[in-house]
Amino acid sequence: MKTKQQLDADMRRLAQMIEGFNVAMLTTVSEDGSLHSRPMATQYANFDGALWFFTHAHTHKAEDIARYARVNISYVDPDKEEYISISGTAELVRDREKIKAIWNPVYKTWFPQGLADPDLALLKINLEQAEYWDSQASTMAQIVGPVK
Amino acid sequence: MKTKQQLDADMRRLAQMIEGFNVAMLTTVSEDGSLHSRPMATQYANFDGALWFFTHAHTHKAEDIARYARVNISYVDPDKEEYISISGTAELVRDREKIKAIWNPVYKTWFPQGLADPDLALLKINLEQAEYWDSQASTMAQIVGPVK
C-alpha cells in the first residue's frame, strides 16, 4: 500500500503531466462491442480530478457512452516517452453555464460556431483509476481508487 | 462507398503511418468492465494486416484478452498531429518459431532475457476497422471491414 504522501506526490505529477498535453485519445466501446479511439482537444484548465472535453452532442462517441459509460483516456508523447492511461466513466453535460465557463476561443479550430452552436456539449470524465509511465524519470505509478 | 482504389490508397497511407511509430497504446477491457491502456513496443516489421507485439504471457493484459478479445490500438504523434485508431481482436501466440522470426535485439529494453525468457510471447491483433487522422494532409480516413 502506498502512503497518502506517496499518492499525493503521484497525483501532483499526473496533474503536471496532463497539463502538458493538448490532445487526448478517448476510447469507447461501440454498439457491436468493438473499441474505438479518437483524438480530443483537451481542456486548458487545471486538472481537478475530472477531465472535460468539448464535443458535439450528436456523435458516435456520445451514443457509445450513453450505452456504456466506461471509457479510457490516454495521453501519449513518444518524444518525451510519457504515457498516461486514465480509466473512468463519461457523461454528456449540456449545461450552458458550464459550457460558457470552460469555453476558450482556441477551441474554434474544432467548433467554428463556438458558443452559438446549439449542439456544443461537454464530455465529463470522472476518474476511477490512473496509471502513468514517466520514462525520463524511470517511474511508473498506479493510482487506484477515485482520483480527487 | 469508397472505390477499391481509394481503399488501397488509404491502406497504403495507414501502413506508411504505422511504420513511423515505435510505440502503440493497447486498450483492453478489464475484469470489472473498466478500460485500461498501456504502451507497447511496436514491431519493426512490415505491416501486413495484423499487428504483432511482444508481451509476457502472464500479464493483466493477457488475462483481459482471454476474457474479452476486442481491443483498440492507437498511435499518437502530437507534434505531427497524426492519430490512428485500430479496432481488432487480440490473441496470445506462444509459438516459438514465430517468436524467433519476429525477435529483434532492440526489444531487449523491455525483455532483457530475450529469447531465453520462457514467458516471452506475442500478441497478435487482427484488424477489423481502422481510422486515421492525418492533420498535415488534412485528411481523415475510415477503413471499414477486415483490413488486409
pLDDT digits (tens, 9 = 90+) for B81-91: 899 999 999 99
d(CA B54, CA B92): 10
What is the domain range of residue A87? 4-144
Of A38, A78, A85, the CB nearest to B77: A78
The CATH number that applies at residue A139 is: 2.30.110.10
Of A35, A38, A129, the CB nearest to B70: A35
Whether B148 is in a domain gets the answer no
Whether B107 is in a domain gets the answer yes
To which H or E segment does residue A25 belong? Answer: strand A23-29
Average pLDDT (B110-129) is: 93
Residue A77 with chain B: CB contacts under 8 Å: 78
B58 and A21 in contact (C-beta within 8 Å)? no
Instruction: Determine the pLDDT at residue B2.
Output: 72
B90 and B65 in contact (C-beta within 8 Å)? yes
DSSP state of A42: B
Whether B16 is in a domain gets the answer yes
Residue whose cell numbers read 531465453: B116
Lowest-pLDDT choice from A10-24, A36-50, B64-78, B99-113: A36-50
Mark yes or no for CB contact A76/B27 under 8 Å. no
Mark yes or no for CB contact A23/B76 under 8 Å. yes
Whether B17 is in a domain gets the answer yes
Res. B120: pLDDT tops 80: yes
Looking at per-residue pLDDT, the higher value among A53 and B4 belongs to A53
What's the pLDDT band for B148 if we cut at 50, 70, 90? very low
Residue B112, Cβ neighbours under 10 Å: how many?
Answer: 9
Of A22, A36, A39, the CB nearest to B87: A36
Residue by residue, what is the 3-state secondary structure of A1-12? CCCHHHHHHHHH
Whether B12 is in a domain gets the answer yes
Which range is most confident: A7-11, A66-70, B143-147?
A: A66-70
Q: How many domains does chain B have?
A: 1
Summary mean pLDDT of chain B: 87
Which three cell numbers, joined as nine digits, stand for B58? 502472464
Looking at per-residue pLDDT, the higher value among B85 and A15 belongs to B85
d(CA B5, CA A11): 49
Mark yes or no for CB contact A74/B78 under 8 Å. no
Average pLDDT (A81-95) is: 94
Give per-residue pLDDT as tens, A106-130.
888 889 999 999 999 999 999 899 9
B39 and B25 in contact (C-beta within 8 Å)? yes
Whether B64 is in a domain gets the answer yes
Which three cell numbers, joined as nine digits, stand for B24? 502503440
Res. B94: pLDDT tops 70: yes
What's the pLDDT band for B137 if we cut at 50, 70, 90? low
Whether B120 is in a domain gets the answer yes
Residue A30 with chain B: CB contacts under 8 Å: 87
Mark yes or no for CB contact B74/A25 under 8 Å. yes
Alpha-carbon gap: A5 to the closest alpha carbon of chain B (Å): 25
Alpha-carbon gap: B97 to the closest alpha carbon of chain A (Å): 30
Q: Which of A25, A28, A65 to mutate to test the interface with B (most CBs of B within 10 A)?
A: A25
Instruction: Determine the pLDDT at residue B44.
Output: 60
Mark yes or no for CB contact B131/A77 under 8 Å. no
DSSP state of A19: H
Res. B125: pLDDT tops 50: yes
**Which residues of chain A are at the B interface, by a Cβ-Cβ cutoff of 8 Å?**
21-23, 25, 27, 29-30, 33-39, 70-72, 74, 76-79, 83, 85, 87, 128-129, 131, 133
Residue of chain B whose Cα is closest to the Cα of A33: B70
DSSP-based three-state secondary structure for A38: strand
Res. A54: pLDDT tops 70: yes
